[in-house]
Amino acid sequence: RPLHYFEEVGSTSDVAKQLAEEGAEHGEVVVAEAQTAGRGRRGRSWFSAAGRNLAFSVILRPDLPPQRASELTLVASVALCQAVRDAGVEAGIKWPNDLVYQDRKLAGILTEMEAEADRVHWVVLGVGVNVNVREAELPEDLRPIATSLAEARGEPVPRALFLAAALTRLEEWLDRHAEEGFGPIRAAWRDFSDTLGREVSVRLGDRELVGTAEDIDDAGALLVRTGGGLERVLSGDVQLLR
Ligand code: BTN
């Protein structure tokens, strides 16, 4: 399957969406050395140091009803977490799909899709990994909240090898998900979770929820135990408190 390589693009996910619209196949990958307009979740921008980090997007054509497409985000976080651990960094997953090391962000995933009522046309999984960026190279506002594989491991990580490992893991977990459903993904996510059992604060639009992250349910929603009972969070921003 083609791997589309670019020195510089606005966003690999924008390129991948365009290719998907033009008929690109399941598994095609877009990777770039640099992004000038990297996008994060919730309309945020995504910083990616040119030549030091990894920014790639994978086109998927899953055989899933649109309501289940959000499971793919957790599939990707499990695969990526495994690849990071294989690279010697004991990362964990912050719900829903951030990879963190000692509460600092190592990687993020942005899932976008186009679907009809009962059919997914395409999903683009956009993955950004802080591989070899040094703390001093991060924008000041990110320094306290972000880190990289190299910082965590104390030595650089070859980016091409890491990309190959991440894609291999992704393929394995996508196959597993297609064959066995969400069950094994949920189990692995729980294993890798850095969220469950901890006090969290969840921002839900203009509301803030504080409680203990208890579990994820069979749709991947986060269950938070608060003074008022168990709350189910389908989307939101989680902060780990302690
Ligand atoms: C997040 O944590 O907010 C998600 C970040 C996703 C960033 C990646 S980098 C490759 C792909 N292209 C983009 O513009 N965004 C994703």
Question: Which residues make beta-bridge pairs with 39?
Answer: 45
Same domain, 108 and 146: yes
- Domain at 103, CATH number: 3.30.930.10
Residue to mutate, 46, 105, 148, ligand 1, most ligand atoms under 8 Å from C-beta: 46
Same domain, 211 and 226: yes
Same domain, 19 and 44: yes
Domain that holds residue 218: 199-240
Q: What is the b/e burial string over 113-124, where b = at least 16 CB atoms within 10 angstroms of the residue's CB?
A: beeeeeebebbb
ipTM higher than threshold 0.95: yes
Q: How many CB atoms lie within 10 A of CB 203?
A: 13
Same domain, 203 and 188: no
Same domain, 12 and 46: yes
Same domain, 98 and 213: no
Q: How many CB atoms lie within 10 A of CB 201?
A: 15
Tens digits of per-residue pLDDT, 183-241? 999 999 999 999 999 999 998 888 899 999 999 999 999 999 999 899 999 888 899 99
Q: Using a 6 Å cutoff on CB, does residue 108 contact ligand 1?
A: yes
Last residue of a domain, one of 192, 212, 232: 192
CA of 111 to the centre of ligand 1 (A): 9
Inter-residue contact 203 to 218 (CB < 8 Å):
no
Amino acid at 166: A
* Stated length of the chain: 242
Token representation of residue 97: 């799909």
The total domain count for the chain is 2
State how far the Cα of 109 lies from the Cα of 180, in Å rounded to an integer. Answer: 23
Same domain, 206 and 227: yes
Phi/psi for 46 (5° steps) reads -125, 120
pLDDT of residue 235: 85
